[in-house]
């Protein structure tokens, strides 16, 4: 199969960029030809605001470049990831002109919420769900700018009006059932949304860390960007309530200062994949105190792959991904006292956490491995190609 993958990389590398790279590797390793149409948000620095705004609404460059690449590569399917802001929805129109079906993975809530997180003033906000997000302009929900928020709202309004989202995409991929339901509430056609979770392809080498004795795993681990939506303030306050939280923190971000000087907290800075796996193999539990509707943080899959249970916020999809008392523990989001209590319990019950870790590893093998994910992806591609074949046959018969 020939797949054209489109992705607009972020200025600060995140989990979504990692998902894209893993998916490309997954497909190529199994014999598929993959071409890439890439843009990078670092290009924004050299653009004037009017030019950037125009490209966000409709990118003539994408229409030309993607059109040429489609004609040259002749893909069976186009798989889109992030298109904002430089690629834009004009990619869908380029695909439509060439008669190539589009599969769009929905990594965030950008089609319904200007900041893509359903988060305002550190609280869940669904004020724009199911309607055009005009109030997000007044609230400056995108980058605290009314002007930039207006551009994004305009993009959504234009392409909803043109029927781009409803008619130009053959299949949407939501990362879990919770997110699928939110996208349906937001107006995307239910019959076009399927669920395929994130995955990691971490082959075992030697004795798997989930078989390690309880005394070989120590302390708690946080992996991620140190930003407000990740619940860093909650984590810092919870850690301060414990005599020794034994917490290691991998990542950087604007709220890193909140963890400075907190006893029992060790800052590791940004870590590469191998180093993250090493940390996960030696920890007792991963902590994920997010205060927003995380779609599907890959750190959960990475933790499960390492036999590491997860202590997560009881919010959105996290409450479904982490089984209370089975593959981890759940805490009230934004509640330092509850978090401190669960963190202390985990540190005091290593054998119980190890048991949860073994279940987490089984969960990974059953649902989140590369082979399982590859099967799901092939089923999605096959379904859109069968639909396109049926449409072409109907047109010829007509």
Res 343: pLDDT? 98
The parent domain of residue 268 ranges over: 209-368
Residues 141 and 229 reside in one and the same domain: no
Give the closest residue to 37 by CA, choosing from 57, 51, 356, 72.
72
Residues 66 and 12 reside in one and the same domain: yes
Residues 105 and 215 reside in one and the same domain: no
Residues 148 and 30 reside in one and the same domain: yes
Residues 224 and 172 reside in one and the same domain: no
Residues 44 and 84 reside in one and the same domain: yes
CA triplet 262, 268, 273: central angle to 5 degrees?
A: 145
Res 10: pLDDT? 87
Res 204: pLDDT? 56
Residues 141 and 100 reside in one and the same domain: yes
- pTM for this entry: 0.94
Residues 60 and 147 reside in one and the same domain: yes
User: Strand pairing of 220-223 and 285-288?
Assistant: parallel
Residues 348 and 388 reside in one and the same domain: no
Residues 131 and 167 reside in one and the same domain: yes
The domain spanning residue 97 has which CATH number?
Answer: 3.40.50.2000
Residues 102 and 86 reside in one and the same domain: yes
Q: Residue 143 contacts by C-beta under 8 Å, 6 or more apart in sequence?
A: 149
Gap between the Cα atoms of 288 and 250, Å rounded: 12
Res 11: pLDDT? 78
All residue ranges of the chain with pLDDT < 50 are 205-207
Residues 186 and 41 reside in one and the same domain: yes
Structurally, how many domains does the chain consist of?
2
């Amino acid at each position: 199969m020939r797949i054209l993958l489109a992705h607009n990389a972020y200025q600060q590398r995140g989990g979504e960029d990692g998902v894209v790279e893993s998916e490309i590797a997954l497909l190529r390793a199994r014999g598929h030809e993959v071409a890439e149409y890439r843009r990078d948000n670092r290009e924004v620095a050299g653009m004037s605001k009017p030019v950037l705004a125009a490209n966000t609404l409709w990118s003539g460059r994408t229409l030309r470049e993607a059109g040429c690449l489609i004609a040259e590569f002749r893909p069976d399917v186009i798989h889109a990831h992030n298109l904002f802001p430089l690629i834009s929805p004009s990619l869908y129109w380029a695909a439509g002109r060439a008669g190539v079906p589009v599969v769009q993975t929905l990594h965030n809530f950008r089609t319904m919420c200007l900041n893509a997180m359903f988060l305002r003033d550190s609280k869940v906000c669904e004020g724009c769900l199911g309607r055009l997000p005009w109030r997000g302009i007044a609230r400056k929900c995108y980058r605290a700018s009314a002007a930039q928020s207006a551009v994004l709202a305009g993009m959504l309004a234009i392409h909803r009006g043109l029927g781009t989202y409803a008619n130009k995409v053959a299949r949407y991929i939501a990362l879990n059932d919770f997110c699928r339901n939110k996208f349906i509430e937001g107006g995307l056609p239910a019959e076009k949304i399927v669920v395929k979770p994130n995955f990691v392809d971490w082959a075992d080498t030697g004795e798997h860390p989930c078989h390690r004795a309880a005394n070989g795993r120590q302390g708690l681990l946080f992996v991620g960007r140190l930003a407000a939506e990740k619940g860093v303030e909650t984590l810092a306050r919870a850690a301060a309530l414990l005599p020794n939280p034994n917490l290691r923190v991998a990542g950087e971000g604007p709220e890193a200062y909140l963890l400075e000087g907190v006893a029992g907290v060790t800052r590791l800075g940004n870590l590469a994949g191998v180093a993250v796996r090493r940390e996960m193999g030696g920890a007792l539990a991963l902590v994920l105190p997010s205060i927003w509707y995380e779609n599907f943080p890959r750190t959960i899959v990475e933790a499960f792959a390492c036999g590491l249970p997860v202590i997560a916020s009881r919010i959105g999809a996290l409450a479904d991904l982490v089984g209370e008392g089975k593959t981890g523990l759940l805490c009230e989001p934004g509640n330092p006292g509850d978090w401190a209590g669960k963190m202390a319990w985990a540190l005091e019950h290593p054998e119980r956490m190890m048991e949860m870790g073994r279940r987490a590893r089984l969960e990974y093998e059953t649902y989140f491995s590369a082979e399982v994910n590859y099967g799901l992806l092939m089923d999605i591609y096959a379904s859109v190609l069968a639909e396109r074949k049926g449409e072409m046959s109907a047109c010829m018969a007509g």
